[in-house]
Amino acid sequence: MNINQSIDKPINRGWIRKKIGREYYIFKRYLDWITQKKEWTKISKNSNLKIEVKHHKSMILRPLKDVDMYLQENKRTNLRIAINKLNDTLIKPGQTFSLWKQVGRP
């Protein structure tokens, strides 16, 4: 990308248009799940998975300027819910992983 190239500003849409557009793309995603011939990963609560492929560690709670700590607590809660649904998920060769399909709609 050229540094001197300008980036167009996003179009400012009304709240109704944003809501309808969001729901349209969510519905489109569900139709893709149903109609595509992909093999999706399934939650297989298999506790025999002993090989860790990726490990990540970061601070969940950290004081940020002008951000209330209760929002940080909400982040912790949301991560706990998502991680409980993703733990012990086995992705076999040829399968497609979808975070929305595994965790659910936000």
Give 95's contacts (C-beta < 8 A, 6+ positions apart).
38, 39, 40, 41
Tens digit of each residue's pLDDT (9 = 90 or more) over 25-82: 999 988 988 888 888 887 766 667 677 777 778 888 887 888 788 888 888 888 888 8
* Domain-located, residue 2: no
Domain count, the chain: 1
**pTM of the predicted protein model:** 0.58
pLDDT band at 104 (very low <50, low <70, confident <90, very high): confident
* Domain-located, residue 13: no
Give 31's contacts (C-beta < 8 A, 6+ positions apart).
none
- Phi then psi for residue 11, to 5 deg, are -75, 130
Rounded to an integer, what distance in angstroms lies between the CA atom of residue 93 and that of residue 41?
A: 10
pLDDT of residue 73: 86
User: What's the token pair of residue 17?
Assistant: 């248009």
* Domain-located, residue 26: no
pLDDT of residue 2: 60
pLDDT of residue 21: 92
